[in-house]
Each structure stands twice: as C-alpha cells, then as structure tokens.
Structure 1
Amino acid sequence: MEINIWGMIGLYGGVIGGLLGWWFGRQKARKKRGLDELYYHIWQKARSYSWYVTLGALYVFFTLLNFGIELSTAMVLGILLLTHVASWGIIGIILTINMSSAAPLQPSRVKVGLFVFITSIIVFTIISILTTNWLFLLFSIPPNLIALFTALTPKRKDSEVTY
C-alpha cells in the first residue's frame, strides 16, 4: 500500500483551510451584524438549489455509465462534491447580490452565464474522462470565468450625455 503524501496534505490541508476560512468569515460577519434572518434565508435557499445542480451532475454520470465509460468512485465522488459546494457558493453569491444590491442582477444575464458555466464544466469533464487526461479541465477555466463575470455583474445603464 503506497501513501501519496501530497494527496494527504492536499486533502486534509483543504479541510483545515476551508474550516479556518469559514470560522474567520463567521467571526467577521458576527462583528458586523451580518448573521441575520436574511443571511440564513439566502444560504438555505442556495443549498436547496444546489441539490438540483447535483442531481443534474448525477444524471450526467449515469448517462456516461450507460455509454460504457468506466468511472472511478473517487473521481465521481470528488466531482459531485465539487459540483455541490461550488453551485451552493455561486447560487448563494447570486442571491446575496440580488437581495442586498440596489441594482439587482438581470435574470437573463444570470441564466446565460450559468448555462455557459455548467455547459463548459460538463463538456470539458466529458472530454477529460474520454481522453483520460484531466488537463482538459484547465481549458474550462477561461469560459467559466467569463460566464461568472457575465452572470454576477449587474447591467449598467449608460449615462445619457446632454449637451
């Protein structure tokens, strides 16, 4: 049995880093009175929506299995966990911006951005699985960043120029 030391450092270092970030963030929010009913409502709603995204990811994996593609358990569970946590965070950010911003996000921009984001992840994940080369997932970063900026940036009204 071979132990991958960097894998263990990444696995448990990620958990420790995530818990520390969560704890410090809650301490900061508590000092600024940010942990109110709206906060809990937004993140409960985001968690609920993220289960729908996770369900979609499950259907993608079952479809790949029906096409005869071999998938490792660790890879599937890792991608499902990443899908759930990332969608929870992204949906939570969108709901927070919409609830607390004077200029809410345009639903059409959010839908287009999320569609591009999800499609990019699915396409590059399938390509990575088919080619057994995970580096194809790196190609999904630019379209994902563009999609997130499109979805999370409110449309600004051009100021009228009067002469």
Structure 2
Amino acid sequence: MEVSIGGIIGLYGGMLFGVLGWWFGRKKAKENRGLDELYYHIWQKARSYAWYVTLGAIYVFFSLIMFGVELSTAMVLGILLLAHVGSWGMIGIIMSVNMTSTAPLQPSRVKIGISVIVFTIVSILTNNWLFLLVSIPPNLIGLITALIPNRKYSEE
C-alpha cells in the first residue's frame, strides 16, 4: 500500500482550514450580533435541503452502478461529501441573501447545481477528472450571477 503525502495534507489540511474558517466566522458573527434566530433558521433549512441534494447524488451513483460503471469507494464518498457540504454552503448563502435583501434571487438559477452534476457524471464516465476542473469557471460565474439581484427589483 502506497501512502500519498499530498492526499494526507489535502485531507487534513482542508479539514483544518474548514474548521478554522467556521470558528473565525462564528466568532466574528457573535461580535456583530449575527447569531440570531434568523441565522439558525437559515442554516437549519439549508442543511435540510442539502440532504435532498445528497439523496439525488446517491441515486445518480446507484444509476451509474446499474449501467456498469465501476466506482471506487473513496471517489464516491468524496463526491458525496462535496455534494452535501457544497450544497449546504451554496443554499445557505442564497437563503441568507434572500432573507436579508430587498430583491430576491431568481429560482431559475438552479442551473449551477445541474451543471455540477453533469460535469461530475461526464468526469466519471470518461475517467477524465479535468472535466471537474473545467466546470469551476462556469459554476463560479453562475454563482456570481445568482447572487446579483434582478434589475427590475433593484430599481424600485
């Protein structure tokens, strides 16, 4: 068995930076009195919706297995973790913007999630992980456009 130093650094370094970011963010929010009922409601709802995304990803993986695609356990668990935590974060941000902004975001911006799923499936089927790297710019552009309010609401 070969040990991947880069994988170990990425796994535990990512966890460390995630926990530090979460801790500093909560500390800053507490100083600004941001940990109120609305905050807890938004992030509880976001976590609930993230489970629906995770359930969809599980069904995609089961479908791929039924079509004869061989998947490694680490790859599946990694993508499930990314789908759950990533959707939790994106849904939480979008819900926070909707709850605190006068101009709500458009629900048609779900194209970001569909894009991630399509690029992930293409990556798995072709065994070429560059498709996931290629998906980063369009997904960032989609996220930015989802966070920009519609002009007809901002002019009122």
TM range (shorter): over 0.9
Cα displacement (A) at 1:159: 5.5
- Taking the TM superposition and a 5 Å limit, the aligned residue runs for 1:20-35 are 20-35=20-35
Percent identity, please: 71
Q: How many equivalent pairs are there?
A: 155
Partner deviation per Cα, 1:121-159 (whole Å, 9 max, x = no partner) = 122112211211111111212321222123221112386
CA drift of 1:54 comes to 0.6
Partner of 1:87: 87
Residue among 146, 150, 155 paired with 1:151: 146
Among 90, 100, 112, which residue is 2:108 paired with?
Answer: 112
Q: How does 1:26-105 map to 2 (within 5 A)?
A: 26-105=26-105
What SS does the aligned partner of 1:71 have?
Answer: coil
Residues of 2 paired with 1:154 and 1:104: CA distance? 7
Shift of 1:98: 1.0
Counterpart Cα distance in 1 of 2:79 and 2:52: 15
* Per-residue deviation, residues 23-73 of structure 1 (Å, max 9, x unmatched): 111110000000011100110010001100111111111110110000000
**Which sections of structure 1, spanning at least 5 residues, go unmatched?**
none
TM-score under structure 1 length normalisation: 0.89
Structure 2: give runs of 5+ residues left out of the alignment: none
CA distance in 1, matches of 2:109, 2:43: 20
RMSD: 1.6
Q: Which has the larger radius of gyration?
A: 1
